[in-house]
Structure 1
Amino acid sequence: FGPPESSNPVGELVTLRQTGTIKIYQRQFQEKLTRPNELIPEQLHMEIFMGGLDDSIKLDAQLLKPPDLSIATSIARDLEQKQQLQRVSNTRKAAWQQSRTSHDNTVNSAKSNTGLIGSSTSTNIQTSNQTLFFKRLTRVEMAEKRAKRLCYNCDEQYSVTHQCKRLLWLELDDSVDDAIPEVPDDCPKISLHAITGQRHAQTMQLPALINRHHMLSLIDSGSTHNFISSTATSRLLLDVFFLHNIRISIAKEEKVQCLV
Structure 2
Amino acid sequence: RLTVEEMARRREKGLCFKCEERFTPGHKCKQNFLIEFVDAGDEEPEFVEERETEEVEVLDDEAEISVHAMAGTKGSRTMRLPAWVKDRRVTVLVDNGSSHNFINTTLSHKLKLPTSMVEPFEVRVANGERLRCSKVYRGVPIKFQGVTVKADLFALPLVGPDMVLGVQWLEGLGDVTINYRKGVMKFETDDGLVTLKANEGSTKEVGLKSIEK
Q: Please confirm whether the aligned pair reaches a TM-score higher than 0.5, indicating the same fold.
A: no
Q: What's the TM-score once normalised by structure 1's chain length?
A: 0.28
Is the strand fraction higher in 1 or 2?
Answer: 2
TM-score with structure 2 length normalisation?
0.33
The answer to which structure, 1 or 2, has the higher relative contact order (CA under 8 A, 6+ apart) is 2
Higher helix share: 1
Higher-Rg member (1/2): 1
